[in-house]
Chain A
Amino acid sequence: MADRFATVPDVVERLRGVDYLADTSIAGVVYLADKLGKPVLVEGPAGVGKTELAKAAAAITNARLIRLQCYEGLDESKAIYEWNYKKQLLRIQADREHERDWETVEADIFSEQFLLTRPLLEAIRAEDPVVLLIDEVDRVEIETEALLLEVLSDFQVSIPELGTIEGVQRPLVFLTSNNTRELSEALKRRCLFLHIDYPDIDREKEIVRVRVPEVDEALADQIAKVVGSIRNIDLKKAPSISETIDWARTLIYLGRNEITPEVMGETLHVLLKYQTDITKARKELGVDAPATPARR
């Protein structure tokens, strides 16, 4: 089995080195993924750093990140491989004069040079270290999920005309899901499961400090507390970590060192993206809307 990491604290330390603050469960699962050679299914609300985790993991292992963005209607030819049939056609037409028998032609046009590799096959054939990210896997149809199973469990791909292509290495594999639908048991069985939730106040504070170094201790503390408080309100879309960071940047940009109700009122739209949410949060927090300039 691979040995990319020595211990769990080692993972935490190295992730911190690339500005990703992992808690023990995140680091623990990444560590196990390496030891057991299993993919990690990362689930959680939008904007808690699921995709970031894969990027950070690639950075600390000096690996190339290969990303497969999933969407409705994704199929084999976009995810694994496709025959370059235009090139094949040209080849057959060019061959017409030579009167070669069909077996030769077939062997010729179903060879590697007519194969278009897509992310999954590319990850399997990679010689250099890679990290495979299958992003938003819950977007593909349940039938398409089956395509991933062979890759995830055995890290190989079967191409009828060429045979089975096996991976030379076992890269770290991350799948992310926003949980818009239940993934199949078969897929889940093959993965380690990691649920990332919004960070607690201490961790969020640290994240703010690392990502926006201009923010001082006291302000970071306030930011984390306020955001935590807003997440307790029943909203359409709770603020994500990236929105917290945007907010911190906004505050710095505006030169605010303290969060007062007035500052909140002016900048709430950075954290919340729905007007109904903003209105609701204002009411809950006891913050007034910014004064509109007098009309002339």
Chain B
Amino acid sequence: MSVVASDPAMLDVLQGFVHELRLAGLPVSMTENLDAMRAVEHVPLEDRDAFKTALGATLVKHHGHHKVFDTVFEVYFSIFSPGVDGGDNELDADAQADFDQLRNEMDAGGAMGQLSNEDLAKMLLDALMKMDTEAMRALAGAAVARFAGMEPGRPVGGAYYLYRTLRQLDAEGLVGKMMQQAQDDQAIGEGAFDERLAREEYEGRLKVLKEMIEAEIRRRLVADRGVEAMARTLRKPLPEDVDFMHASREEMQQLQKAIYPLTRALAARLAQRRRHRHRGTLDFRRTVRQSLSYGGVPAEPRFKRPRPSKPEIMVVADISGSVASFARFTLQFVYAMQSEFSKVRSWVFIDGVDEVTRFFDESDELITAINRVNTEADVVWVDGHSDYGHAFEVWHERHIREVTRKSSIILLGDARNNYHAAQAWTLAEMRKKARRLFWLDPEPRGYWDTGDSIISEYAPYCDGVYEVRNLRQLHKFVEDVVSV
């Protein structure tokens, strides 16, 4: 009998764990669940790393999901392991005893009682300079006990406690202090180059400390509220479900990384389509010639090579206030596209329209490109409120001649037209000349055609109108581009 199956309590925990992963949005199938149960039988339970690897390799098949997995794992398995936070159980017996004593003191409200806050800060700085993980962990515990102000049953999330603790410790200033100290000790050489390396090193250490503090807070919260409640409060949308409109700065950076592979996929799909869609017609002459080597039997049919056409992409995007955060994403998307495709042209509009291809081509960084678009592009015609009709009309007048059967046009915007005329005929013209015309709308489908949104006046002329509010939907669009 195996370890897991013979221990119903463990099996319960594992099933609870898998259930929570599913609630968090991870697609864990039946087979994968069974695989995980089989896998953990082959690793010793006390080897936490191996245990985690076994669960991770069987249950999580997207790299982007690992963060969610890590969090849920910490919540579920931190209290089942011996030692502090169940992390590296490398403390020897003595250190463990010291540690337990320390922890008891802290839990009793002592929090290294006699120490003043200044002493604590000094000890912490010392520990960080030496990268003494044991001391750091002890001090992280003390800091949480002292500064976080955690009370049983208080309905506050972990982030609040983390914020309080870090603020009291002056976490932002710690790197500076470490740098200062290292310079005083002449531990780092002079020059920008050495300084950069040292700074990164210290930032890394600070990150380790932050993780320790988070683990400590989590441990206390789990002890207070129980595993399931804790997991529920920590639940966050998966990276692919984060709404572009409400993404935080950090999430936006994550998105940016995720967009590159997607645009590459889009490029690859378009290229694939032209190479493999049809193999070309039978080349009769070459087939007959080839058949001569088999005594006149046409054994190897020969085909004409298809003439590859270079796809050209034209992106026309709304950057007005109502879609401001979407616009940021839009520009990221355009930037990523332009660095992948050679033939991408882009325009932005509010009530006027201006071509911005050059800004993206000339800037080797997204942020400079965005700045230039925001400051240099001439997109205001009258009052700086979106006017799709006018923008499309102007675009039509200037650029319709450049649209060919090779061009795909992508329009981005919420179609909130401030009750101006729609001028939908311009889209009809574009549709007629272009190969394909898509519209990506950042609003939830339920809001379409409410208020001044006139998406359905434009929709009939598009090959597809897509709700694109998160990566998952963007992904679907990219997949669909091939089939339309």
Residues of A within 8 A of B (CB): 8, 24-25, 28-29, 31-32, 35-36, 38, 40-41, 43, 72-73, 85-86, 89, 93, 141, 179-182, 185, 188-189, 191-195, 225-226, 228-229, 232, 234, 236, 261, 264, 276, 279-280, 284-287
Contact of B193 (CB < 8 Å), options: A41, A232, A264: A264
**A229 in contact with B196 (CB, 8 Å):** yes
In the bound complex, residues from chain A placing their C-beta under 8 Å from that of B63 are 43, 179, 195
In the bound complex, residues from chain B placing their C-beta under 8 Å from that of A72 are 272, 275-276
The verdict on A261 contacting B38 (CB below 8 Å), with A73-B276, A185-B27 known, is no
CA distance A32 to B364 in the complex (A): 44
CA distance A141 to B261 in the complex (A): 16
Most A-side CB within 10 Å, residue of B61, B197, B261: B61
Chain B's interface size range is 35 or more
In the bound complex, residues from chain A placing their C-beta under 8 Å from that of B339 are 236
CA distance A24 to B47 in the complex (A): 11
CA distance A13 to B48 in the complex (A): 19
| Extra A-B contacts (10), CB below 8 Å, given A35-B39, A43-B63 | A28-B50, A28-B53, A72-B275, A73-B276, A185-B61, A189-B29, A192-B35, A193-B58, A194-B57, A234-B365
In the bound complex, residues from chain B placing their C-beta under 8 Å from that of A24 are 49-50, 53
Stretch at the interface among B122-130, B291-299, B449-457: B291-299
Closest residue of A by beta carbon distance from B364: A276
Closest residue of B by beta carbon distance from A88: B299
26 A-B pairs in the complex with CB atoms less than 8 angstroms apart: A8-B50, A25-B56, A25-B57, A28-B43, A28-B54, A29-B53, A31-B50, A32-B39, A32-B42, A32-B43, A36-B38, A72-B272, A89-B299, A179-B63, A180-B265, A181-B268, A185-B29, A188-B61, A189-B61, A193-B56, A194-B57, A232-B200, A236-B339, A264-B193, A280-B365, A285-B196
**B261 in contact with A179 (CB, 8 Å):** yes
Residues of B within 8 A of A (CB): 27, 29, 31-32, 35, 38-39, 42-43, 47, 49-50, 53-54, 56-58, 60-61, 63, 66, 191-193, 196-197, 200-201, 261, 264-265, 268, 272, 275-276, 294-295, 297, 299, 339, 364-365, 475
CA distance A188 to B43 in the complex (A): 22
CA distance A276 to B63 in the complex (A): 28
**B42 in contact with A86 (CB, 8 Å):** no
CA distance A193 to B200 in the complex (A): 31
Contact of B272 (CB < 8 Å), options: A43, A86, A141, A226: A141
CA distance A192 to B54 in the complex (A): 9
Contact of A195 (CB < 8 Å), options: B66, B193, B294, B297: B66
**B60 in contact with A28 (CB, 8 Å):** no
In the bound complex, residues from chain B placing their C-beta under 8 Å from that of A32 are 39, 42-43, 53-54, 57-58
In the bound complex, residues from chain A placing their C-beta under 8 Å from that of B53 are 24-25, 28-29, 32
Most A-side CB within 10 Å, residue of B39, B265, B294: B39
CA distance A38 to B42 in the complex (A): 14
CA distance A225 to B265 in the complex (A): 33
In the bound complex, residues from chain B placing their C-beta under 8 Å from that of A86 are 294, 299
Shortest Cβ gap from A145 to chain B (Å): 14
Most B-side CB within 10 Å, residue of A181, A264, A284: A181
CA distance A72 to B264 in the complex (A): 15
The verdict on A89 contacting B294 (CB below 8 Å), with A32-B42, A72-B272, A181-B268 known, is yes
In the bound complex, residues from chain A placing their C-beta under 8 Å from that of B364 are 276, 279-280
The 6 closest A-B pairs by CB, nearest first: A286-B192, A28-B53, A188-B61, A192-B57, A35-B42, A193-B61
In the bound complex, residues from chain A placing their C-beta under 8 Å from that of B197 are 225-226, 229
**A286 in contact with B191 (CB, 8 Å):** yes
CA distance A191 to B60 in the complex (A): 11
Shortest Cβ gap from A36 to chain B (Å): 6
Contact of A287 (CB < 8 Å), options: B38, B193, B265, B365: B193
CA distance A276 to B365 in the complex (A): 10
**B31 in contact with A189 (CB, 8 Å):** yes
Closest residue of B by beta carbon distance from A153: B31
CA distance A35 to B193 in the complex (A): 48
Shortest Cβ gap from A266 to chain B (Å): 14
In the bound complex, residues from chain A placing their C-beta under 8 Å from that of B47 are 8
In the bound complex, residues from chain A placing their C-beta under 8 Å from that of B192 are 285-286
**A29 in contact with B57 (CB, 8 Å):** yes
CA distance A229 to B299 in the complex (A): 59
CA distance A24 to B48 in the complex (A): 11
Shortest Cβ gap from B288 to chain A (Å): 16
Shortest Cβ gap from B336 to chain A (Å): 11
CA distance A186 to B384 in the complex (A): 49
**A36 in contact with B39 (CB, 8 Å):** yes
**B35 in contact with A180 (CB, 8 Å):** no
CA distance A254 to B32 in the complex (A): 52
In the bound complex, residues from chain B placing their C-beta under 8 Å from that of A141 are 272, 276
CA distance A189 to B26 in the complex (A): 13
CA distance A31 to B58 in the complex (A): 13
CA distance A192 to B58 in the complex (A): 5
**B193 in contact with A286 (CB, 8 Å):** yes
CA distance A93 to B295 in the complex (A): 9
CA distance A261 to B189 in the complex (A): 12
**B276 in contact with A189 (CB, 8 Å):** no
In the bound complex, residues from chain B placing their C-beta under 8 Å from that of A228 are 200
CA distance A35 to B29 in the complex (A): 21
In the bound complex, residues from chain B placing their C-beta under 8 Å from that of A29 are 53, 57
Shortest Cβ gap from A285 to chain B (Å): 6
Closest residue of A by beta carbon distance from B253: A234
Contact of B265 (CB < 8 Å), options: A40, A73, A181: A181
In the bound complex, residues from chain A placing their C-beta under 8 Å from that of B201 are 225
